[in-house]
């Protein structure tokens, strides 16, 4: 796939950028010419390289404010600036809302909502002092815009992230644009845990109007657009990236009944 965006000279932070969706985002920005800083709790098994350059890795837990500030300081002090922040780190294991512990729910909210706010705040402080400002992209989920059984706190956090996006877009304009990408089902290293083997993944993909589940690079391409001059008048927006969404359950139910 040819690179259509030139972000040469730009510095980008991708939280959780070493695996899954984050790795796809990192790869796309590297291919577009950007210098990319990724952070995560676990060291990388091998450097992430694309477009003739490698990502910079900083060990950090996004739930720790001091570690968040250290990652932003690295981008500013070592690379000279910070143009784009992609708040990608997040997730949640399945848990029954009726029995889950309050401590567990608080941890999920802290990872998926409070951590992006803290990271955005630190990034904004740098971006506001730059003539070109900056862009912040929050990676949300369809769990935030529809029921999220089994991951109630996660869905609530992602819904909150969308609200946060619109608010920050107003407060931090005009220097900083803030947008969200709401991702649907994306194929990652852990897809088998949710969808089973290749046949299961294909069967799940067949339920999507576009006929497949998404790839990490699909999310990366959406982020490239929101980071590029092509989206210069886009702020406070939520880009739905779900292949057309989920087919309404009543359609198949009505069909089976009629048969």
Residue 77 burial (CB count, 10 A): 8
Close Cβ partners of 2 (under 8 Å, ≥ 6 residues apart): none
pLDDT at 241: 97
Find the distance separating the first CA and the last CA of the chain, reported in whole Å.
44
Domains located in the chain, CATH noted: 11-189+215-258 (3.40.50.720)
Which pLDDT tens digit goes with each residue over 69-105?
Answer: 999 999 999 999 999 999 999 999 999 999 999 999 9
d(CA 91, CA 189): 14
From 177, 40, 156, select the one nearest 105 (Cα to Cα): 156
Count of alpha carbons within 13 Å of 136, Cβ hemisphere only? 35
pLDDT at 235: 98
Q: Which of 74, 154, 225, 233 is catalytic?
A: 154
d(CA 16, CA 89): 4
Rounded to an integer, the average pLDDT of 32-51 is 93
Known catalytic membership, residue 154? yes
Which pLDDT tens digit goes with each residue over 109-163?
Answer: 999 999 999 999 999 999 999 999 999 999 999 999 999 999 999 999 999 999 9
């Amino acid at each position: 796939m040819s690179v259509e965006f030139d972000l040469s000279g730009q510095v980008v932070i991708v939280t959780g950028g070493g695996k899954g969706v984050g790795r796809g985002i990192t790869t796309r920005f590297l291919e577009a010419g950007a210098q990319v800083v990724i952070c995560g709790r676990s060291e990388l098994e091998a450097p992430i390289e694309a477009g003739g350059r490698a990502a910079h890795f900083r060990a950090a837990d996004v739930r720790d404010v001091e570690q968040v500030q250290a990652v932003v300081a690295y981008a500013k002090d070592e690379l000279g600036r910070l143009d784009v922040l992609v708040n990608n780190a997040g997730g949640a294991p399945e848990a029954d809302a009726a029995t889950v512990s309050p401590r567990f729910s608080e941890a999920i909210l802290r990872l998926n909502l409070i951590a992006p706010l803290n990271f955005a705040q630190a990034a904004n402080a740098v971006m506001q002092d730059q003539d070109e400002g900056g862009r912040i992209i929050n990676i949300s989920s369809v769990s935030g815009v529809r029921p999220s059984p089994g991951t109630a706190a996660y869905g609530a956090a992602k819904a909150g992230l969308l609200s946060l996006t619109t608010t920050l877009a107003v407060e931090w304009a005009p220097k900083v644009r803030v947008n969200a990408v709401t991702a649907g089902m994306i194929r990652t290293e852990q897809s088998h845990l949710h969808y089973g083997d290749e046949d299961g993944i294909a069967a799940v993909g067949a339920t999507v109007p576009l006929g497949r589940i998404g790839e990490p690079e699909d999310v990366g391409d959406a982020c490239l657009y929101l980071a590029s001059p092509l989206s210069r008048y886009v702020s406070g927006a939520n880009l739905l990236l779900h292949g057309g969404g989920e087919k309404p359950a009543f359609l198949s139910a009505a069909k089976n009944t009629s048969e």
